[in-house]
Amino acid sequence: MRIETLAIHAGQHTDPTTGAVIPPIHLSTTFEREADGTFAHGYIYTRSGNPNREALEQCLQALEGGAGAAAFASGSAATMAVFQALAPGDHVLAPTDSYHGTAYLLRQVFIPWGLQVSFVDLTDLDAVAAALQPNTRLVWIETPSNPLLKIVDLAGVTELAHRAGVRVACDNTWATPILQRPFEWGVDVVVHATTKYLGGHSDILGGAVISRVADEFFTKIRAIQGAGGAVPAPFDCWLLLRGIRTLPYRMRAHSENAQQLAHFLEGHPQVERVHYPGLLSHPAHALAQRQMKLPGGMLSFEIKGGRERAFAVAAGVRVFTRATSLGGVESLIEHRASIEGPQTKTPDNLLRLSIGLEHPEDLIADLDSALA
């Protein structure tokens, strides 16, 4: 099946009891045993398994083309589960440009816990090769990256890592399986903040880990999911499945709108630089075209005049909303350096945009007015 069909049908079945086309929400926390102590329907307690979560996991597994999926209560919980499946003393390669929450987890939680971490420019394959160590167990990729939209060569990094016996994980939140399928480039584990594009309406918190093969590493992640209990509520799983049904069409519209805004910003006299892989000026434009179907709905740009001017532009918008997060139908604008804190390496004149589904001419007019 093509991905548009999978988004609607994978993991979802007509309810056998009522014939309902849309599966019901199963809010029960516990499930009845048979007289002999067995569980005829396969469910024991909602922390370890729930029909709505199982349907969501089957859908995510199908969309990414994996062998197993585990849903979590947030993207950060999903990320933590991957790192928790490692052991103290293991070494991780992580990107220098990535979601600041991931870097925070590594620095503040997992390095004190015993992981060894090297932050590397993963767009430089020579740097990746040089940073691999005998105890390296995981390379963590984020592409496109947050907030500079760097593009990592998935096949190149994976080849280097696998040659050294190292597993590769990719945060695919910004691209989604509609625009990029990391397993096709050899990646072992895919992670999503399902809060973002998969939910698509800024009303759900969630995360997921999908594994290319059902191996021992994924078994550990599944055990962490059940024992730790950082699982999504049944209603959130139901809402996520509803959002996924329109995901292929939303992602195309997000990308089309972002492409138009990127071209507008690149030609604006008040803009120093636009970070968007759909532009010919992007240093990895050709790579993005090769491994992504479309360049996505996220972009960032640097403004002439520094931090003060960036804040003034963000204050001047009327259609965009000044808010954190991304991937919803509404367009958002954010000054990332102030959000990321004093350790940030994000330029102080940079604004990050999550391009929504409004008419692109209205979004362009709004930015044009704010820049003026």
For 7-35, b/e burial (b = at least 16 CB within 10 A) is bbebbbeeeeeeeeeebeebeeeebeeee
Report residue 76: phi and psi, to 5°. -65, -35
Is the model's pLDDT at 243 over the cut of 90? yes
Task: Summarize the confidence of residues 57-82 as an average pLDDT.
Answer: 98
Report d(CA 340, CA 102) in Å as an integer.
Answer: 11
- DSSP character at residue 30: B
Task: Summarize the confidence of residues 325-345 as an average pLDDT.
Answer: 94
Report d(CA 372, CA 370) in Å as an integer.
Answer: 5
Q: Are strands 321-322 and 332-335 parallel, antiparallel or unpaired?
A: parallel
User: In one letter, which amino acid is 243?
Assistant: G
Cα–Cα nearest to 242, from 204, 211, 297: 204
Q: What is the mean pLDDT of the chain?
A: 97
Give catalytic status of residue 171 as yes or no: yes
**Catalytic residue among 53, 150, 167, 196, which?**
196
Supply the pLDDT for residue 341: 85
Give catalytic status of residue 276 as yes or no: no
**Catalytic residue among 45, 47, 107, 348, which?**
47
Q: How many CB atoms lie within 10 A of CB 163?
A: 10
Those residues whose C-beta lies under 8 Å from the C-beta of residue 91, and which sit 6 or more positions away, are 115, 116, 117, 118, 133, 135, 136, 137
**Catalytic residue among 97, 171, 188, 366, which?**
171
- The secondary structure element, H or E, covering residue 234 is helix 234-244
CB-based contact 258:295 (threshold 8 Å):
yes
For residue range 336-367, list pLDDT tens digits in order. 999 998 888 899 999 999 999 999 999 999 99
φ/ψ region of 314 (left if φ > 0, alpha if ψ in -120 to 50, else beta) reads: alpha
Tell me whether residue 253 is exposed, middle or buried, using C-beta atoms within 10 angstroms of its C-beta: 0 to 12, 13 to 18, 19 or more. middle
Give catalytic status of residue 196 as yes or no: yes
Report d(CA 346, CA 64) in Å as an integer.
Answer: 30
For residue range 15-46, list pLDDT tens digits in order. 888 999 998 999 999 999 999 999 988 999 99
Could you tell me the two tokens for 354? 């999550």
CB-based contact 154:185 (threshold 8 Å):
yes
For residue range 276-311, list pLDDT tens digits in order. 999 999 999 999 999 999 999 999 999 999 999 999
Could you tell me the two tokens for 26? 């199963």
For residue range 107-155, list pLDDT tens digits in order. 999 999 999 999 999 999 999 999 999 999 999 999 999 999 999 999 9
The predicted model scores a pTM of: 0.96
**Catalytic residue among 53, 90, 97, 99, which?**
99
Domains and CATH numbers, the chain: 3-244 (3.40.640.10), 247-371 (3.90.1150.10)
Report CA-CA distances (Å) from 10 to 61, 198, 231, 299: 9, 14, 20, 30
